[in-house]
Amino acid sequence: MSHPPSNILFVCMGNICRSPFAQGLFTKLVDQKRHKGVDAESAGLLALPGNSATFLAQKVATEYGVDLTEHQAKLVSEKLVTGSDLILVMENSHKDALLSDFPMAADKVFLIRHFARFGSRNRGVADPYGLNYDAYRFCFLDIEDAVLGLLEFLSIR
């Protein structure tokens, strides 16, 4: 990246759990710090546009002060990809799929855990879809670690 990113895109499969967690938490923390000039969106590789975040995603997010009640899934598009300075995916397979469709984005696509403060930076974030509350909570906390590391990287403290 030749300049600090101002448009960040979080990507997962359905845009109903992981990427909304990341976008919602990132936006909340940036707003709390009254930082201007950086925006975040989320999208899914196989999203059904208009779907809401899952019930458990909304429940866990609310417990951490993130409101996903208005979230509506959207599909990754060329416009979103070209308009983003940094694209953070949840799994290596997401990176492969994204770059298959948008090879011009190769220099700006990273695993979200690339910015993690603890544990491996090379592993993906497990998908909680269809699992229980604890899986969603673990997923949120995993994403939180990476988002906090991203904020440090961006010098948003």
User: Do residues 28 and 61 make contact, with C-beta atoms less than 8 angstroms apart?
Assistant: no
Tokens of residue 14, six digits: 């359905």
* Residues taking part in catalysis: 12, 18, 127
Whole-number Cα distances in Å, 59 to 7, 62, 65: 27, 5, 10
Whole-number Cα distances in Å, 68 to 7, 92, 99, 156: 20, 25, 28, 23
DSSP 114: G
